[in-house]
Amino acid sequence: MADKRIEKLAKILIGHSLKVKKGETVMIVASSEAAKPLVLEVYREVLKAGGHPLTSIGLEETVNIFFEHATDAQIKKLPETKLHEAREIDCFVNIRAPLNKKSLSNIDPAKSAMRSRVLSEISGIIVNDKRWVLVNFPTNALAQEAEMSLSEYEDFLYRATNVDWKAVEEREKSLKRVLDKGKIVRIVGEDTDLTLSIKGRKAIPCFGERNMPDGEVFLSPVEDSAEGHIYYEMPAIYQGREVTGIRLEFKKGKVVNERADKNEAYLKSVLNTDPGARFLGELGIGVNYGIKNYSKDILFDEKIGGTVHLAVGRSYERAGGTNKSAIHWDMIKDLRKKGELYVDGTLIQKKGKFLI
């Protein structure tokens, strides 16, 4: 018998997040076979909704084998069938169920960047043109990364996902109104004073339609507007590699100086992926105060109430962004101890608590 919490999550994903309609094609992708219980429940719910489910279940080891043995020609080869698939599907469910969070740590960053550029056309179609939702399925790897037992992590995950998302939507509307009227955002905190323009950009409240769990309001800042510097207390993880103590300096929207306490060379390599990688694609404000602890998982951590996250790289077109890049790397700034968040000179948040 399936865990009732899994059944409820599947119903939320298909009924609330994607709102699958009769006749629609839904691609269900899982990163490993460990996600089977959720894959089956999601598959069942797609059929109940009158949709046409497709599945793609990965074997985690194939990624390492690919980068170990693939030639440059193979790395640069666009998978045409996946491109066709991305164009033809209506909805996309991405279930992450890693068995080893560090499996990509030793992959050559240059090869990884090369492959990211090749796949950017496919990911761009899915991100910008399709309805999609990203979700975790509890595994020992995720629990270990979050420093929890598996049962503790299951509770942590389902408490964050199986909630009343309509109520969350209502709470986010007041922040959206402030941002939609605003022109300049200023972020102040430890070793941080960064301003950026949001003039003409519309904020998007997130309440379980894209990410699960959710709880953020985001927009794409004006591409050439970021000025100042920012320090990230929380580790930033990209493609399985952890970078700590990141400090970025911006001029005319571009990262002109970057430092890190750990894995600085990797930080530089990612920022050099392509010209757009040094510009901001997203400013997100976390509003989920039910997620309190850092778990080394951006899906949860960027939603922590009292934090903001800024992503270098690809913008979201639906948020008004125009920055193009093969990467999109979220980095989290904790404002809960002594941070301040201003919109047009008005303090809207102090030490992680909203004043609006």
pLDDT, tens digit (0-9, with 9 covering 90-100), for 279-301: 999 999 999 888 888 888 888 99
Query: pLDDT confidence of 134, banded at 50, 70, 90?
Result: very high
Terminal CA-CA length for the chain: 46
* Phi, psi angles (nearest 5°) of residue 121: -65, -40
* Residue 67 bridge partners (DSSP): none
Alpha-carbon gap, residue 345 to 6, rounded angstroms: 45
Task: Read off the pTM.
Answer: 0.77
Q: How much is the pLDDT for 166?
A: 87
Query: Domains plus CATH for the chain?
Result: 4-161 (3.40.1830.10), 165-354 (no CATH)
> Residue range 139-160: average pLDDT?
93
Q: What share of the chain is helix, strand, coil (3-state, %, to 5)?
A: 35, 30, 35
Residues 107-117 have pLDDT tens digits of 888 888 899 89
Alpha-carbon gap, residue 125 to 121, rounded angstroms: 6
Question: Nearest-CA neighbor of 210 among 271, 284, 295?
Answer: 284
pLDDT at 1 over 70: no
Share of the chain above pLDDT 70, in %: 99
Average pLDDT, the chain: 93
pLDDT at 197 over 70: yes
Alpha-carbon gap, residue 352 to 356, rounded angstroms: 12
Residues 74-105 have pLDDT tens digits of 999 999 999 999 999 999 999 999 998 877 77
pLDDT at 240 over 90: no
